[in-house]
Amino acid sequence: MPSSSKRRRHHSSDDSSPDPASDSKRRSRSRRWVPESDSDGPSKRRSSRRITDEEIAEYMAKKAQKKALKAAKKLKAQTVSGYSNDSNPFGDSNLNEKFVWRKKIERDVSQGVPLDEFSVKAEKKRQRERMALLARDRARAEFQDWEKKEEEFHFDQSKVRSEIRLREGRTKPIDILTKHLDPSDDFEVEINEPYMVFKGLTVIEMEELHDDIKLHLDLDRATPTHIKYWEALLVVSEWELAEARKKDASERARVRGEQLPPEMIGQERGLHSSVEADVRNLLQGKTYGELETLQSQIESQMRSGTAKVVEYWEAILKRLHIYKAKACLKEIHAKMLRTRLERLETTQSEVGSYSPLQLHGDENEENAIDPEEDKAILERRRNAVLEERRIQELPLRPAHPEDNFEKSAMKSMGVMEEGDVVFGTNDEINLDSQVYWWHDKYRPRKPKYFNRVHTGYEWNKYNQTHYDHDNPPPKIVQGYKFNIFYPDLVDKSKAPTYTIEKDGDSSETCIIRFHAGPPYEDIAFRIVNKEWEYSHKKGFKCTFERGILHVYFNFKRHRYRR
């Protein structure tokens, strides 16, 4: 038995080994196989007919149609809230079925789009993407609306600031340009042609004015006149700004001894300096309509090729835009002046004439009064009225202004805060007697004052370590408020001044001296010698108003840094 099993294993291993000769015989036998005769049965050989492209396309179309139908069934919704196919007010028997574009799905499937793209999950994903896109569009529209409202708010604030500057006499160029469009006479402003406002401005001021003009052009579009006005001003502003930059660069190069940039060397091409005056005479003084006609003629000549020197006419066209803008501004300015004049005439006609009627000849000669006698009568009547008014006001006359000085000073300084102390009685320094040039004319006197010193704690690293709020560190002086009263100052056009002087050999204190004109003597106080804060945000104030000199300041606080 063992030997037979070995032989079987040996034969099986031999059979499993590849034999090329046996394989070739086997293939030759398969090639020599001959089918049975037709009488025995149908032929087992495959048909050799080739499949056409039309059949393939038809097969793929049927397959796509089946897939589209399957996807459409999945996408269709089965219920509509509140209604059914049988009972609905629309008479729609297919109300519960969602419309699905089957032809489009068939086309996409036939083009190779995966069937997963038409699943319910994919449809929900697309729906979420559409909703997110709509939300982004809505947010973008809201942001644009907010941005527009913010620009309008800034524009309204700029108009308010302009009115304040006009009222206080601190006019800026943009205020004058805005005033041209306002027919009211609320502010007395000298109004010339709008383009004259650029004269004498620096490059920085022109850049600021250019930005203001662009802002008004974007937001001030109330009437077509306003739009034309700001567009013309923008053209003039760009031209004047370019000329100012060119002039500034040439001056800077001349001072430094450098050469001008290549784009600024020489005159413009086609416009020599010798014909600059001719061009100015050609364009200056023409109306906007005449300049429009001239521009159309030049452009037609350049298009037709009849212009001999093209560069020259191009330079003329550049100048023409500036003169057109100035002519437009001049016409708008004249129109506004006419409107203002009509308003004034209407107002005067409503108010009526205050002048008496003129008498001709010797009318009413018997009642004429001598001028000298008339003047004497008028003076007597005036004196009588003044005396009567003085007698009436005598019991109601307020106290001397110096009696209310403390109230005025306290109102200016505000409510006393923690750490504020009245200052000055013991810290006033007796200055050496001095003879002034006005001693014979006025009686010298010392001004009254009402001062405060502000003290507080300085919580630096050392004090934070060694002290707390229950056991605070010693207070230090943090600032002063001086109010010096000069009600009877002779020359009120010259404000009183103060100077800082050394306090002998002491480095911890110094002397602040206040000086004014007659009839007041100098007055001085001893203060702590520290560095001042000169920022208005830090409390600094130095003004002279209503006869009171206010000098408020705080000391700088130095932070320890490693």
Average the pLDDT over 308-327 and give the result.
80
HEC profile of 127-192? HHHHHHHHHHHHHHHHHHHHHHHHHHHHHHHHHHHHHHHHHHCCCCHHHHHHHHCCCCCCCCCCCC
- Asked whether residue 4 carries a pLDDT value surpassing 50, the answer given is no
Give the count of beta carbons closer than 10 Å to the beta carbon of residue 133.
10
| Confidence grade of residue 459 (pLDDT, cut at 50, 70, 90) | confident
Give the pLDDT of residue 58.
Answer: 79
More confident residue, 525 or 190: 525
Give the pLDDT of residue 143.
Answer: 81
Please state the domain extents for the chain: 119-266, 271-347, 403-554
Give the pLDDT of residue 289.
Answer: 86
Listed in sequence order, the DSSP H helices in 191-258 are 203-219, 224-256
Tell me the pTM: 0.41
**Which tens digits make up the pLDDT trace of 193-208?**
888 888 888 888 889 8
**Which tens digits make up the pLDDT trace of 19-38?**
544 455 454 444 444 444 44
SS3 (DSSP) at 442: coil
Q: Averaging pLDDT over each range in 128-137, 242-251, 362-371, which range is the top one?
A: 128-137
Strands 476-485 and 548-554: antiparallel
Strands 548-554 and 428-429: unpaired
| Confidence grade of residue 189 (pLDDT, cut at 50, 70, 90) | low
- Asked whether residue 500 carries a pLDDT value surpassing 50, the answer given is yes
Residue 253 · residue 259 · CB < 8 Å: yes
More confident residue, 373 or 1: 373
Distances (CA, A) of 11 to 4, 24, 349, 469: 10, 21, 140, 109
Give the pLDDT of residue 15.
Answer: 44
Residues 6+ apart with CB under 8 A from 518: 436, 438, 441, 442, 489, 490, 491
- Asked whether residue 525 carries a pLDDT value surpassing 80, the answer given is yes
| Confidence grade of residue 151 (pLDDT, cut at 50, 70, 90) | confident
- Asked whether residue 356 carries a pLDDT value surpassing 80, the answer given is no
Mean pLDDT of the chain: 74
Give the pLDDT of residue 261.
Answer: 63
CA angle (334, 337, 342) in 5-degree steps: 125
How far apart are alpha carbons 131 and 134 in whole angstroms?
5
Give the pLDDT of residue 41.
Answer: 47
First to last CA, the chain: 102
Give the count of beta carbons closer than 10 Å to the beta carbon of residue 514.
21
Token digits for 327?
Answer: 């002519």
**Which tens digits make up the pLDDT trace of 198-234?**
888 888 888 988 998 888 888 887 788 888 888 989 9
SS3 (DSSP) at 399: coil
Give the count of beta carbons closer than 10 Å to the beta carbon of residue 79.
9
- Asked whether residue 351 carries a pLDDT value surpassing 70, the answer given is no
Q: Which of 1-15, 250-264, 359-373 has the lowest mean pLDDT?
A: 1-15
Give the pLDDT of residue 274.
Answer: 64
Phi, psi of 326 (to 5 degrees): -65, -40
